Amino acid sequence: MKVDYLRLSITDRCNLRCTYCMPPEGVPPRSHGEILSFEELAVVARVAVGCGVSKVRITGGEPLVRHGCAELVGMLARTSGIHDISLTTNGILLPQYASQLRREGLGRVNVSLDSLDPERFARLTRGGRLDAALAGLASAFDAGFSPIKVNAVLVEGIEDELDAFVDLTREREVHVRFIEFMPLDRRLGGACGVAGRRLVPAPEVLLRLKERYRLVSDQGPYGHGPARYWRLPGARGSLGFVAGVSDHFCGSCNRLRLTADGRLRTCLFSGEEVDVRPFLNRPADLRRVIEAAVAGKRYDRHREALANLRAMSEIGG
């Protein structure tokens, strides 16, 4: 599999505290010195292009809490060889930044929206406001991003919201992706981890939807990644499933991930990472480090999920 996709986590701070992702107090804050500067992130992206990368996604933590995120987009957009720049966000700050991000060259956005019910949204995010997230989604449309995807993690209670998500795909050209909860972080234990949480398998949700709706298989929007898509005939958007646990897709993984503190990871499910910071001023060496990581990338690490020592909020999803 060609590794052509780099996910840059630009901060591990977040303005929400999703129960399955972060402890209530957030993750221990890193000092500015520990976090790569935009120039350093752009260096890694530029060198990664020489190793085959052509698509970059900005993520976090919540990327838009980092001041100047749009500047980074501009730097990436001016990097020859990067053809696709995308962002994963919870949408809360998107109304403020959407047009600037678009102008700087951001092509598409994924908005994480686990619930369309204000109370459940507030519970899941520990105090987040659904109307703010929906305003973010609306601003993505206004700014002209395409495609626009909504990420909804399959945690208990989602079963009661399926109709609302289906309706969203009827009304707007939005691609809802139901994502299986991945029990990645041991440290978060009962609070965010697998303990005490009923996992909702994607096949179960698909079955429920198929009992209620006529769904036709769909090729999915650009950048469909590991999701499998379906569509209601006549609907403007689609419904996708990212079944990272029940139907893992390691064999088709094309991704590299860089954490905000400069660790390169080739697999979400493995704790292995390499610190790129010593090589930031030595592009030839950095290239060798990235090439070695790509060459050593394994495609069978799914079963090691529980050995992973970093939360999704640190790796960037």
* Residues within the interface to ligand SAM (CB under 6 A): 14, 20-21, 59-60, 62, 88-90, 112, 151, 153, 179, 181-182, 184, 312-313, 316-317
Query: In this structure, what token pair is assigned to residue 11?
Result: 């901060």
Whole-number Å distance between alpha carbons of 93 and 212: 35
Closest approach of Cβ 90 to ligand SAM, in Å? Answer: 4
Closest approach of Cβ 182 to ligand SAM, in Å? Answer: 4
Closest approach of Cβ 256 to ligand SAM, in Å? Answer: 16
Exposure string (b/e) for 169-186, b if CB count within 10 Å is 16 or more? beebebbbbbbbbbbbbb
- Of 18 and 47, which CB lies nearer to ligand SAM in the complex structure? 18
Place of tokens 């992702």: 21
CA dihedral 88, 94, 96, 98 (to 10 degrees): 70
- Of 20 and 121, which CB lies nearer to ligand SAM in the complex structure? 20
Note the helical H segments in 219-277.
none
Residue 241: which H helix or E strand, with range? strand 238-242
Q: What is the largest CA-CA distance in the chain?
A: 57
Contacts 24+ apart (CB under 8 A), 75-78: 75/38, 75/39, 75/42, 76/42, 76/45, 76/105, 77/104, 77/105, 77/106, 78/105
Residue 97: which residues within 8 A CB-CB, separation 6 or more? 64, 69, 70
Closest approach of Cβ 30 to ligand SAM, in Å? Answer: 15
Closest approach of Cβ 219 to ligand SAM, in Å? Answer: 22
3-state secondary structure 267-297: CCCCCCCEECHHHCCCHHHHHHHHHHHHHHC
- Of 220 and 316, which CB lies nearer to ligand SAM in the complex structure? 316
Closest approach of Cβ 285 to ligand SAM, in Å? Answer: 30
- Of 158 and 289, which CB lies nearer to ligand SAM in the complex structure? 158
State the residue number with the nearest CB to ligand SAM.
317
- Of 237 and 316, which CB lies nearer to ligand SAM in the complex structure? 316
Closest approach of Cβ 154 to ligand SAM, in Å? Answer: 8
- Of 22 and 289, which CB lies nearer to ligand SAM in the complex structure? 22
- Of 269 and 279, which CB lies nearer to ligand SAM in the complex structure? 269
Whole-number Å distance between alpha carbons of 112 and 98: 15
Q: Which of 55, 71, 50, 78 is nearest to 8 (CA)?
A: 55
